[in-house]
Amino acid sequence: MLENVKFHNTAELESRTNLPGVRLQRFPKQVRESLTEKGRTKAAESSGCEIRFVTEAANIRVTMAAQEKDGRVLVFKGDFFHAAYELKAGVVTTLQLEAPERFLEVPAALLDNVAFSSKVWRIYCDRFTAIFYDIDAYGYAIRPPERREVPQLTILAYGSSITQGAGALSHYNGYVQQTARRLGMDMLNLGLSGSCCCEPELADHLVEREDWDLAYLELGVNMRGTVSTEEFQHRVTYLLDGIIRNHPTKPILATTIYPNRATYFNDKAHSFSQAEKQFNEVLQRYVESRQHANLTLLDGERIMIDFTSLTSDLIHPSDYGHSRMGEQLAGFLRPFVDKLRAAQG
């Protein structure tokens, strides 16, 4: 059944010795195992992975499981939210999907005028490791979506837990997901909670990927207190130089660190405050030095504009905060997206 399904934001379907099913992995194994101890566990999460398919069946059974902890999947029909399901860790669960009858009561043009065709079933994985087993459409044919049935442009996002979606009640409501929704684009979310460290192996992986049209990079916050300013400069230079070299005509946008508690510490000499200021300056100097037509640095303070939109940990945005950030970021990205669409004709 794997050939009848499209696995979005999934670099690898990992089989496990003597165990059924496949794990949805956002990064290849060699990349995951090159990261920090924390990064290895976060990279194994299927956060933002989607199972996509099309069928004329009115009833469908999708069998899957959560591995190490309970997880939630959100089901969409095209752009429309359909249902949410909770998966218990280690328990194989079958989702019983029923095609929405009310779609037949309105003009098709109302259903298919944004990003996805309303024919496309989408099963979105929140933050857990997902295992896929099977889809059963009771004898009806199942196929992957055609190119015209999904968004024509894709954002690749790499960053910290903020980019992965932490703070939102569902990672689907994270700011980069909301940005893509506002722009009618697809999203490859490669955020790594607490472990966005720009390792060379991960940088090489991002550089080599060809499945995106616009790159958005949230860099720095996870490296405060763990790497020196000189090492930060070395890592972001290696990453950005590689992306520019391999994708010279694609829009590449980076952001300075979003406002957080360290931005406003009473103790201005705190190491996090100092590192944050220095890391932002590194990014500014890099962009100025390259003078690359398709490289842009955004000011994080113009994306996260309301300090009270953070949760009480004073680092992660709440649902409200992610919504505000998605709205702001979509506004900054729209001119680049309009140019990409114009080039597509």
pTM of the model: 0.96
Residue 183 near residue 330 (C-beta atoms within 8 A): yes
How would you write the pLDDT of the chain (345 residues) with one tens digit per residue? 688 999 999 999 999 888 899 999 999 999 999 999 999 999 999 999 999 999 999 999 999 999 999 999 999 999 999 999 999 999 999 999 999 999 999 999 999 978 999 999 999 999 999 999 999 999 999 999 999 999 999 999 999 999 999 999 999 999 999 999 999 999 999 999 999 999 999 999 999 999 999 999 999 999 999 999 999 999 999 999 999 999 999 999 999 999 999 999 999 899 999 999 999 999 999 999 999 999 999 999 999 999 999 999 999 999 999 999 999 999 999 999 999 999 988
Domains of the chain: 2-149 (2.60.120.260), 154-344 (3.40.50.1110)
